[in-house]
């Protein structure tokens, strides 16, 4: 227990002591529970994907959707990815989850093609840990081939924060993916890690603006101006923008007027099951 307390001040040279708190143990116990149950969860198919539609607001139609993982735990019900993604990134288990999600997403694109004769691309999240895997490009290529879909129809979302951890590796992988025909979306743009330098060195196809910027557009002039600047950046890069987390009519109207092409958020739809 002393060790748990110590860990909270380790490396912080201005704090010379720390107190143990029962919450520290509780958090650890919960983490261990999640890690212990993870493998059974995969075996027993407790993971599934929900899809959140992406709308083109200039043309009024659905142009894609994002696959978001859900853990349907037999005891705790739906566990949100917010509480397990970073944990799985710490121990590498994220690769198993993501591989599963990518396969499900690719299969879904194929299913819609077979059932309705339309192609609606699905975007999947790619963790910075996945990028460190030397075989990631081959692996994703074999996933789309096995599913029988085209590479351009499985969009890859790379979170902006990945750029901070291993810049050159990320640039190399993203470049390779694009050469092979995949579409790259920069996720959570503006969330806090971005250096503007990244925008000119990392080749991307779509810019997904973090919901924190969307929140503010209808609130005050400063936030609105900020969003305008982001739209200018996108124009300079010649890439379309997806505004994430659009929740109300005001935000929708403002973004449409600013020339934002695509919108993803509760205003149109929450993440839902494919059939919905």
259 Cβ contact list (under 8 Å, min separation 6) = 231
Would you tell me how many other CB atoms lie within 10 Å of the CB of residue 75?
Answer: 7
For residues 185 to 224, the per-residue mask of contacts with ligand C2E, x marking binding by CB under 6 A and - elsewhere, is: --xx------------------------------------
User: Of 8-16, 136-144, 161-169, 265-273, which part binds ligand C2E (CB under 6 A)?
Assistant: 265-273
| Shorter beta-carbon distance to ligand C2E: residue 4 or 107 | 107
For 187-245, the three-class secondary structure string (H helix, E strand, C coil) is EEECCCCCCHHHHHHCCCCEEEECHHHHHHCCCCHHHHHHHHHHHHHHHHHCCCEEEEC
| Shorter beta-carbon distance to ligand C2E: residue 108 or 127 | 127
99 binds ligand C2E (CB under 6 A): no
Is residue 4 classed exposed, middle or buried when 0-12, 13-18 and 19+ CB atoms within 10 A define those classes? middle
For residues 57 to 86, the per-residue mask of contacts with ligand C2E, x marking binding by CB under 6 A and - elsewhere, is: -----------xx----------xxx--x-
Structure tokens of 211? 């919901």
Chosen from ligand C2E, Mg ion, none, partner binding at 199 (C-beta under 5 to 8 Å by type): none
187 binds Mg ion (CB under 5 A): yes
Beta bridge partners of 272: 51
What SS3 class is residue 152?
helix
Q: Are 123 and 51 in contact (CB under 8 A)?
A: no
| Shorter beta-carbon distance to ligand C2E: residue 81 or 203 | 81
254 binds ligand C2E (CB under 6 A): no
Residues binding ligand C2E: number (CB under 6 A): 23
The minimum distance between CB 92 and ligand C2E, in angstroms, equals: 12
Q: Are 151 and 180 in contact (CB under 8 A)?
A: yes
> Where on the chain is the footprint of Mg ion (CB under 5 A)?
125, 157, 187-188, 244
> Where on the chain is the footprint of ligand C2E (CB under 6 A)?
52, 68-69, 80-82, 85, 94, 98, 101, 125, 127, 157, 159, 187-188, 244-247, 265-266, 271
């Amino acid at each position: 227990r002393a060790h748990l307390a110590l860990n909270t001040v380790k490396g912080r040279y201005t704090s010379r002591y720390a107190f143990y708190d029962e919450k520290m143990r509780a958090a650890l116990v919960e983490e261990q529970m999640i890690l212990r149950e993870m493998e059974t969860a995969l075996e027993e198919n407790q993971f599934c994907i929900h899809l959140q539609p992406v709308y083109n607001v200039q043309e009024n139609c659905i142009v894609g959707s994002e696959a978001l993982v859900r853990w349907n735990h037999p005891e705790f019900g739906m566990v949100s990815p917010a509480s397990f993604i970073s944990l799985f990134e710490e121990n590498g288990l994220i690769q198993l989850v993501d591989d599963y999600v990518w396969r499900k997403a690719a299969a879904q694109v194929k299913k819609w093609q077979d059932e309705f004769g339309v192609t609606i691309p699905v975007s999947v999240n790619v963790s910075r840990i996945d990028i460190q895997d030397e075989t990631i490009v081959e692996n994703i290529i074999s996933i789309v081939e096995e599913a029988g879909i085209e590479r351009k129809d499985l969009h890859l979302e790379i979170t902006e924060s990945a750029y901070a951890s291993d810049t050159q590796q990320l640039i190399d992988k993203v470049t390779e993916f694009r050469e092979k025909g995949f579409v790259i979306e920069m996720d959570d743009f503006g969330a806090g890690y971005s250096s503007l330098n990244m925008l000119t060195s990392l080749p991307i196809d779509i810019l997904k603006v973090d919901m924190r910027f969307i929140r503010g557009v209808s609130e005050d002039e400063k936030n609105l101006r900020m969003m305008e600047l982001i739209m200018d950046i996108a124009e300079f890069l010649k890439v379309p923008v997806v505004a994430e987390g659009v929740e109300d009519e005001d935000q929708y109207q403002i973004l449409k007027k600013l020339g934002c092409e695509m919108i993803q958020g509760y205003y149109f739809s929450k993440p839902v099951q494919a059939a919905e």
